[in-house]
Structure 1
Amino acid sequence: MVALVLLAGVGPFATDAYIAALPELRRSLDTNATVAQLSLTAFIVGVAAGQLLLGPVSDVRGRRGIVVAGTLSFTLLSVVCALAPTGGILVAARLGQGIAAGAGVALCRAMVTDAWQGTQAAARFGTIASVTFLGPVVAPAVGGVILEHGSWRTVFGALAGLGLTMVVAAVVGLPETLPAHRRQAGGPRDAVARMGELLRDRTFRSHLAVLCLAIAGFFTYIGGSSFVFQTAFRVDEFRYTLIFATNAAGMAGAGLLFRVLVGRLGAARLRAAGVAVSTVATLALLVVALVDRRAEAPLVVPWALLGVVVTGMGLTLPATTALAQEAGRRFAGTAAALQGGLGFLAGAVVTPLTGVLGYTTLLPMVAAMAVFFVAASGGLVLSARRGGGVSQALHRASG
């Protein structure tokens, strides 16, 4: 589990650890802000691509070899990033680093699915999710401490050290979880066919749809909240960091609560509770935004309601992951790839949405969030009425 947690947590950590150093990075490489920001974008694209490409490959080749190769690649590419002489080389290395990190994220889910079933697997997804949720909180703080004693290159040196730790953990702590007799036929055409089969499976498809809609609502908050709070509510950077960190801590706490409760209540019920909590809190926020157009209400009101939205995601994400992996158990690597890759892409697409719609008031961001969360709730209700997704997944998850 330590090795799996490292694999799952490295993506969020490596995304945010050097954000505060972007201006320094731009100056030291004598480049522009666009190239500096592209180093971040390239990593995010790489994480999505790594999941979509290497998850299906692991159904053919096995998990362990790809994990070890991925952790070694992450380590070496972190060194390349630390030594990069130009912005172009840094962006290319970050893309490769993201692909390696994405492989770890997808295969972490697949290996849990291989090794455990039902509520045992769901409980481990809850543990992994809790650590992953803390990444965006811990990474900037750790990066800030490193920057007090070094530069952006030092941050990537630290990521190389983390990569070495991952290599040791993978070699020592991770056995092969997919034996040869359970592997699939090779070739790109076969991989596409497996993806198609899962996407035609109504149960898996319903879980994937709910996941992508919930992630879209969550990433609308991620991409827009800093602009809204600092512009509409005139919050400084320190207070916004405090708001974001406390909300993320609530999500991590909900992930731990999921692990405790999943054995008694099941993943499907906890997923329904998480989506309902986020939806109701978002609709309450929408009422606040409509009534308080000038952002004159106490800051604690939107802060608390957004905290409830984010806490609900602490139940929704691990529960949906467990249910979708259970539904796609026959192709666990491909199922993990579709979840992670498409979910990540959904988040990336909506991240700039608030910038397009406007952020001088709370309303545009919250209205977009409400659309996505209400749609996710509608998807759960529809699948339940069809007698498919929720009830079948609950039966499977309960053993």
Structure 2
Amino acid sequence: MRTIFACLFLCSAFAFGAAAAEPSEETIARGKALVEAGDCASCHTADPAKPFAGGKRIDTQFGGVYSANLTPDRDTGIGDWSDADFYGALRLGADPDGSHYYPAFPYPYFTRLTRPDIAAIRAYLATLTAFRSETPPPELRFPANFRVLMIAWNYLFFRPGIFEPDQSKGTDWNRGRYLVDGLGHCGACHTPKNIFGADKRGYAFAGAPVAGWFAPRLDSAERSGLKSWSADDIAEYLKSGRNGKSHADGLMAEVVVNSTSKMSDADVRAMAVYLKSLPAGPPEPAVSPPPEASMKVGAAIYGRFCVACHEADGSGAPRIYPPLPGNALLQSADPSSTLRVTLDGAQTVTTPRAPNTGSMPAYARDLSDQEIADVTNYIRNSWGNAAPLVTAEQVKKARAP
């Protein structure tokens, strides 16, 4: 649910002024919870000593952009923004001077936020420590560096509109949809983008590459989606960063630590209810078994390097080393996340609900490109798993900085 500019301007339009009355403590507390649900900290904190002061580089398909300073500093932050400025940033993707934000900031999702929630977010941000921190200019390639083109982008791809509950659905489903499709902006990472950086129509939550990782499918796809996950499985994953089927790694681990682990049980349950209702989207690719020679080499490598933690049958250790059979991310058409973990290693995310930890060593130096391809093919196509062939060339590209 990684956050590219998750709140870049989610809060980039905040101000001290324009409020007729001081917000209540209850409103501020609700705003804090909303900011956590929006995962603002993941994008807007480059220096832990300066939370929400921005300056973190966000890589996109067009180049790099930098997150904005969300603190109440009046010169470099958002301390002099009016209520209308703040509202326009979140709901319309517009800067106070009238220029348009780039869609790396997910205002196409935040447009669904209600006015009371926007006001609560603003109230909380006003309580932050103000830091003077200039936001570096975008580093985008031609022609994306011409911001005026966003006028055409918005005309083609942006449809503003506040969330409207579906009266035929229950309370949990509607709350979950508001969080997943709006504040949580899960599709910003989990929905593939077209050549213009907009959500690809007809591919909602079908999985997408993000900064060298692969944000997996969240629909009901058989092998690589959430079909085999229960609502309880999803809620536990969001709350603790792990469950009996998978662990959060990479960018999703950051989302869990900064956002979903801090959300209420009721809200993560609502998200789970909504996600379980999503139908399967585009069909998964047809899969042919890898060459027998590759599987044989992969089995030998697995026996040497992996079996001690993941067991001969791939079952792993409950909530420490994730199981491999039936693992949805492992069977994704795009193997980027599997390759990333194999090359660089991994650390089990630590949360209040799951404080114990485990780790996996990096194998970038121990194994060649072909060997990593072979063992990856083995674990992606054993114990009932089925996934497309991984090549040495893909591993070579994954190694590149």
TM-score, with structure 2 as normaliser: 0.26
Which has the larger Rg? 2
Higher relative contact order structure (alpha carbons within 8 Å, sequence separation ≥ 6) = 1
More strand as a share of residues: 2
More helix as a share of residues: 1
